[in-house]
A and B are shown apart, each in its own frame.
Chain A
């Protein structure tokens, strides 16, 4: 199995996140990490490799600084990485990003492409289907369980009501939730090995995409205004002295919830 994992570097959700002066996500000032859900994608890819053999490639589109996340991803066990990076990509919208990732995937000949179900910065949940659409291959998204038998993939897709069982043949894009597995911690050996693993860098020119199709120039949507929401402040705080429940209900009644 030739497996590609999509890994995105995002600003740490625990740190304060900002928009830069051009209304794009400020990726320079925030501390950056691997999008959490993508760690589950890496783990699932490694599991498939362990069971069925093959190779795992990490694919990232992001600024030069994303190499940090790529090395971290590699330290978990993937074999190599492809990093699409180009100054012109700054500010790319989801539509343009999918164009670039699809072009890169076109050079990788994957049987299974595994992504996170969503990213913590964009939370758009659109990339896996956009890629499947562009590549004309199957999509099994929102998986909490994945089984591979020969070239047949079966996933339990988590829904609001429960789950759906979906199947497709490879090649396919799979996206996973954090319910699917428990990502491994990189071992010391893994961290050392990751330093020597090949990371191929691709530019837009390498992919045959022109600069005006991506980035702020080719964006299909635009942020007009940005405002911080006023911080919430705490209201009344009472300490339970035997009537805390009753006091709570008195408040709820007053606010017409009861």
Chain B
């Protein structure tokens, strides 16, 4: 192999006069090749990212949606404070969440016996902690607006608490779906929490965001750019899906 050539994971060879430090345009070209050739390393990182973020989104939806609905319709002393705290938690710094989960899952921590630190499970836990307040706060607002509209009718039908929550969640399902998509987008884009509890171990806990951070710091731009393309595409796709869903639901159901 000539010194100004590198072998890609797919088996192809890339050569440049400026290797081992390609120019920006060469890095971009290589990044595109990595994506279009479905480079195994890129693919593995993307799939792990999707798995971790999907699992954490599902968990946060199961926790956050009913919690948001309950806070929306319950009336109790201190409710205003709870809502304020929930809204504030939306802005939790990911690194702080990572630190807190690290302390919980470390050997000296209360959940150290689980033995999940530096595994994808720990990353799922951290992202769940991070996005559950977001899901709960946004769903609280949506459900509360629906509750204001439906309250008298549901009271007239003598619906119990469980039925009210289920009805409100179902009636606002399309708006809540966009909340869940927003949660997924936040999970997929964050780096602070997963890098602390996951350790960014190659082939084990390296996801798109942590890989971009590492490869950029090493000066290995092609892989960072390739993952960046995928991440941006993912975020755009999520937002497009959310917007389309909102429009379709408005036209279909009024």
A, B from the same assembly: no
A residues engaging B (CB < 8 A)? none
B residues engaging A (CB < 8 A)? none
